[in-house]
Amino acid sequence: MASSMLGSAYGWWRPGVVGLCHRRPPRGLWARARRLPGTTAARRSVAVASGPGAPGSAHYCLELLRKRDYESYLCSLLLPAECRSSVFALRAFNVELAQVKDSVSEKTIGLMRMQFWKKAVEDIYCDNPPQQPVAIELWKAVKRHNLTKRWLMKIIDEREKNLDDKAYHNIQELENYAENTQSCLLYLTLEMLGVKDLHADHVASHIGKAQGIVTCLRATPYHGSRRKVFLPMDICAMHGVSQEDFIRRNQDKNMRDVIYDIASQAHLHLKHARSFHKSVPVKAFPAFLQTVSLEDYLKKIQRVDFDIFHPSLQQKNTLLPLSLYIQSWRKRY
58-84 pLDDT, tens digit each: 999 999 999 999 999 999 999 999 999
Q: Per-residue pLDDT averaged across 317-323, rounded?
A: 93
223-275 pLDDT tens trace: 999 999 999 999 999 999 999 999 999 889 999 999 999 999 999 999 999 99
287-305 pLDDT tens trace: 999 999 999 999 999 999 9
- Contact of 294 with 266, CB cutoff 8 Å: yes
pTM of this prediction?
Answer: 0.83
pLDDT exceeds cutoff 50 at 1? no
pLDDT of residue 288: 97
* Alpha carbon separation from 254 to 82, 128, 238, 245, 291 (Å, rounded): 49, 54, 9, 10, 28
- Contact of 130 with 120, CB cutoff 8 Å: yes
Among residues 178, 185, 190, which one has the least CA distance to residue 285? 190
pLDDT of residue 6: 43
pLDDT of residue 251: 83
Could you tell me how many residues make up the chain? 333
pLDDT of residue 187: 98
Percent of the chain predicted with pLDDT > 90: 77
pLDDT of residue 331: 78
d(CA 196, CA 272): 20
Percent of the chain predicted with pLDDT > 70: 83
pLDDT exceeds cutoff 60 at 210? yes
pLDDT of residue 55: 60
Q: Per-residue pLDDT averaged across 109-135, rounded?
A: 97
Mean pLDDT of the chain: 86
Q: Per-residue pLDDT averaged across 197-222, rounded?
A: 97
Q: Per-residue pLDDT averaged across 322-328, rounded?
A: 93
Roughly what angle, to the nearest 10 degrees, separates helices 70-77 and 320-330? 40
